[in-house]
Amino acid sequence: MIKKPGENYVIDGIDFCPSLPSVIRSKSGIAFDPNRPAWSYRDGVYSVYMDFSGLHFSAVLMASFHLTLIWFVENRAPSTVMGRFAALKAFALRLQEGRVEPLETICGNDVLIHCDANDFQTRDLFAFLRRWHAMSLPGIQDDVVYVLDRKKLRKRETGIAVLTWDPELGPFTPIEQVGIQDALNEAYGAGRLSEDIYLLAWLFIALGSRPVQ
């Protein structure tokens, strides 16, 4: 990062537009240019794609958004990065509705009006806004944190998909497991899978790992 903790991008009361580094690296070491209009890279099992088009931000606000996102890229998993980006972009698009001039700042009232406490995406948004404010970057007002500290979010419900055997998010049923194993054996027998991939797939099944792992 190009900014020291606690340093303010303000000159004589006017927000100064911070510049972006020419190259950054993700937590796992993937390098890319953050000055591109869209960020696209492969990080492990994740295909990361973040498109900034459609965001009608002032130059200062856009730079601050990028720098905050860079912190997450450098310090968090790609799934977290994409979640934070999607939450902020969805929030910003709501703020932009009916506006002609670029969005220049985010205030506490924006959070009160445009955030649904029952939407799980709001949790990602709040984490992003807190980090943005903690970095002392321009574009976010102090009353945002005041609102975040007092706005109650819906608690995450864990284990529901497993307990209810959710057809999309829950575990495979015994019948589905047999079908997958039969298809695996058939593909290997027909020569569509190499021995290495075949054995790796059976090892994956035996260990009981989730695909995301």
pLDDT value of residue 9: 45
Nearest to 121 by CA among 150, 93, 163, 161: 93
Q: How many Å is the Cα radius of gyration of the chain?
A: 22
d(CA 102, CA 189): 60
Q: What is the pTM (predicted TM-score) of this model? A: 0.67
pLDDT value of residue 154: 55
Span 60-66, average pLDDT: 95
d(CA 74, CA 51): 18
d(CA 41, CA 62): 20
Q: How confident is the model at residue 213 (pLDDT cuts 50, 70, 90)?
A: very low
Q: What is the pLDDT of residues 137-190, one digit of tens each?
A: 999 999 999 998 887 765 656 666 666 666 766 777 788 888 888 999 999 999
Q: Encode 156-211 in three state secondary structure.
A: CCCCHHHHCCCCCCCCCCHHHHHHHHHHHHHHHHCCCCCHHHHHHHHHHHHHCCCC
